[in-house]
Chain A
């Protein structure tokens, strides 16, 4: 789960809320307090994990799949997750 040396692993970095439905991205980091980060980690959202976006309403809630789990992420959450 390590990045390649030059940091290029397909695509720009962007917020999860900007990812189109149906695409798979890799989680880069989470811009949030330690509590939230810990919670998300426990659900499978750690840097390097593969995230598949199932349902995305832009600034609204989104549904993703990570590590075999389906998660619903509320508004505001999707803006805190940076993916690539």
Chain B
């Protein structure tokens, strides 16, 4: 007895095949590609006692002709790989059409087991299927299943195993095509059998039928295997002509018709049905959703909801991921002495973790977006949406189904390109793929938010009472619309030039609406999310390193020395500031003592900059401070100084509590919470003041002036150092070098440098700008960045930056994904260069024209 069997799952799309596959394999599945083509290959494993079932989920197809790549792939698998059993998953509530594929499987003479899926639905609709009788009529074992409730799975496995082991094999049934055609088949079979190379591989009858259907792949294979002997092919042509004459229709059509006749005959005998519409509930939903007038608004509503869902639930997990990477970076960094110039550490922390982490923080968004889209797909709505959008899409030269990738493109281009697989022709796929990056993805949104916030104050443009039109949302809309318009134009252009040809006619099956299974949804979502993560792990990793090298080397020497005077000045200012508090504190002669304390604290801060907390250097500085403190306590001013320290802590904690709420981005200004917290803060401060007015006053002065000034100066030094480093690096120099080319667009070297970073991931644009302007690259520094931008550039330039970002710069992950989906680098590079050129020209025009007309300068 064999230890492993190969089971192929075939069936119509929408028959629930995937659910059955999930039921059989659970999580033990993986997705790959059939060699040489971009058709997905799904495989899984199930253990049945001692037997290992290797299950292959063939692409969902309506038949097995040579006209579509999915059908060819499925067919080739069945012929070449000879699975031990083939399971045809058929929708029992739509049996006749589903059996069309079954007849072709019967003809291929594969070991067949028929799964009558959705049998509960069929029963509810009043279909009574006599399984044993149908089994006889079709020559295949029949197992009723209910995929989304996971019923019948065990029976299905048993049937499969039994078939594989040659038990319970029903008698073979031939699908007959009527006298005339059977005659032609009889005429061809002997000719086929003359060629052992053919019969060794194919069934003679199947070949004969395919020849009558003028199957191009079969013809080609025969030419290859049987060589120059054209008798077979000539006979086939003669037969075809004869059939055409007799029936007045091409043989394919007659054969198709006869297949349905066979099916109808079998169903009449084995299926009893009461008249009840399969679609009643779906009908009602469709009446609304596909309504002439309401259709598109409802579609837009769903689109809006999808994004709302994604952003609302994605914000928190994104923060966690960011925090995780932040922690990771610090933990890793602490393994080296802080002052260590280790290249490896810099590479890992600043290059790898920063780069990869930045992209992985998107994963929550991606997963949620895909969850929503999977839901829309699995429920059956997407087919309707494609139908609704078809008219619009057609005008652009695209297929109705193209809109799904475009929709996804508003979230992220990478999964959008992946989604183009659902399109039928390569032409449609390519056109859509190339144009998808023009949909402003969520990373671009980050850039927009900085620019719009900087240049376009939230003025009210139009106040209609019930509706106020503000400038900011309008600017966003303009940019998104420009993207869409460009996509339309570009698609049209491509269609007229390189990717010429007729649009594939739209034929979509509209399955009845159904509630998707949770498991199915999760698996769908995970498949795509995993691909995105893998991209990040490979491509972006490599590029992060490159980017890090570009922005770090060559290193600027002597930076620390150059800034030393400023550091010293800052330290001195701190010491002086603390010393002056003596008067407020009530110890007019305590100045020197305070100064000593301040100096010790400054040293600790300096030490923290140079050492990790666990290192000796830091501990020593801390010990010195403690010693100073101990000495001071023993002096006259000791108690007052103690008081000061105590109050300093207290005030710090009160202020920190309040700042924490303020820093939480989700708190709205003037919300009751905020007002209440402010009141509480003031109350606590008043309490402290009443206990010891002098100490409290000194503490507050410290926190209001001395401390912030000190920290701000340190931060400024840090940022300016970073800015100098970048300016000195290759990226910075490149930015300077290309500046002349950027000037006509209104850009300078700083923007140029930032663009280089943006190539890896667009968020890096903002981070880089932050660094170059020495305001820091974090979120908290955005406002400071905006001020600088406002100062240095005009609104026109701001708009041009957005425009350039919109059109050019598909991020590297997108470029690589396009390479993968299109098959070679050619298209990816074409797109990259094309978009960049377009961006350049467009921005140039806008900037020059704008300057000329004096708009926004």
Instruction: List residues of chain A with CB under 8 Å of any chain B CB.
Output: 1, 29-30, 32, 34-44, 46-49, 55, 57, 60-61, 63, 65, 67-77, 80
Contacts and interface: CB of A to CB of B under 8 A. Distances in A.
22 contacts: A1-B261, A36-B505, A37-B252, A38-B65, A39-B62, A39-B67, A39-B68, A40-B507, A41-B256, A42-B61, A42-B256, A44-B100, A47-B257, A55-B290, A60-B391, A63-B290, A67-B97, A71-B508, A72-B387, A72-B506, A74-B505, A77-B506
A34 B508 CA distance: 18
Nearest to A70: B510
Contact of A46 (B67, B260, B286): B260
B402 to A, nearest CB: 12
Contact of A73 (B94, B101, B260, B507): B507
Contacts of B507: 39-40, 43, 71-74, 77
A70 B253 contact: no
B257 A35 contact: no
Nearest to B62: A42
B383 interface: yes
Nearest to B96: A67
Nearest to A55: B290
B394 to A, nearest CB: 6
Contacts of A55: 290
A78 to B, nearest CB: 9
Contact of B394 (A39, A46, A75): A75
B390 interface: yes
Contacts of A74: 390, 394, 400, 505-507
Secondary structure of the A contact surface, majority rule? mixed
B167 interface: no
Contacts of B510: 63, 70-72
Given A74-B400, A75-B391, A75-B394, A42 B260 contact: no
Contacts of A41: 63, 100, 252-253, 256
A61 to B, nearest CB: 5
B505 A38 contact: no
Interface in B390-433: 390-391, 394, 400
Contacts of A70: 279, 282, 509-512
Interface residues of B, number: 45
Given A38-B63, A41-B252, A1 B511 contact: no
B214 interface: yes
Interface string B247-284: 00110110011001100000000000000001100100
Contacts of A1: 257, 260-261
A29 B68 CA distance: 22
Contacts of A44: 96-97, 100, 260
Contacts of B63: 38-39, 41-42
Contacts of B400: 61, 74
Contacts of B260: 1, 44, 46, 49, 67
Nearest to B380: A70
Contact of A38 (B67, B257, B386): B67
B123 to A, nearest CB: 15
Question: Can you list the 7 inter-chain pairs with the closest CB atoms, starting with the nearest?
Answer: A74-B506, A42-B62, A42-B63, A41-B256, A35-B67, A70-B510, A72-B387
Nearest to B384: A72
Interface string B175-204: 000000000000000000000000000000
A70 B510 CA distance: 5
Contacts of B249: 29, 47
B660 interface: no
Contacts of B387: 61, 63, 72
A70 B286 CA distance: 11
B390 A61 contact: yes
B459 interface: no
B704 interface: no
A68 B97 contact: yes
Contacts of A37: 250, 252-253
B394 A68 contact: no
B256 A72 contact: no
Contacts of B292: 57
Contact of B506 (A34, A35, A42, A73): A73
Contacts of B97: 43-44, 67-69
Contacts of B256: 38, 41-42, 46
Given A44-B96, A47-B249, A76 B505 contact: yes
Interface string B625-653: 00000000000000000000000000000
A49 B394 CA distance: 28
Contact of B253 (A47, A57, A77): A47
Contacts of B384: 72
A63 B80 CA distance: 38
A38 B62 CA distance: 10
Nearest to A38: B65
A1 B214 CA distance: 23
Nearest to A77: B505
Contacts of B253: 29-30, 37, 41, 46-47
B125 to A, nearest CB: 10
A63 B286 CA distance: 11
Interface string B48-66: 0000000000000111010
Given A29-B249, A68-B278, A48 B257 contact: yes
Contacts of A77: 505-507
A76 B290 CA distance: 19
Contacts of B96: 44, 67-68
A75 B61 CA distance: 23
Given A29-B249, A41-B100, 20 more contacts: A1-B260, A34-B214, A36-B505, A37-B250, A38-B256, A39-B68, A42-B61, A44-B97, A44-B260, A46-B256, A55-B290, A61-B506, A63-B387, A67-B96, A68-B96, A70-B279, A70-B282, A72-B508, A74-B505, A74-B506
A68 B100 contact: no
Interface string B40-84: 000000000000000000000111010110000000000000000
Contacts of A38: 63, 65, 67, 252, 256
Nearest to B216: A34
A68 B509 CA distance: 11
Contacts of A71: 507-510
A67 B99 CA distance: 11
Nearest to B14: A69
Interface string B364-396: 000000000000000000011011001100100
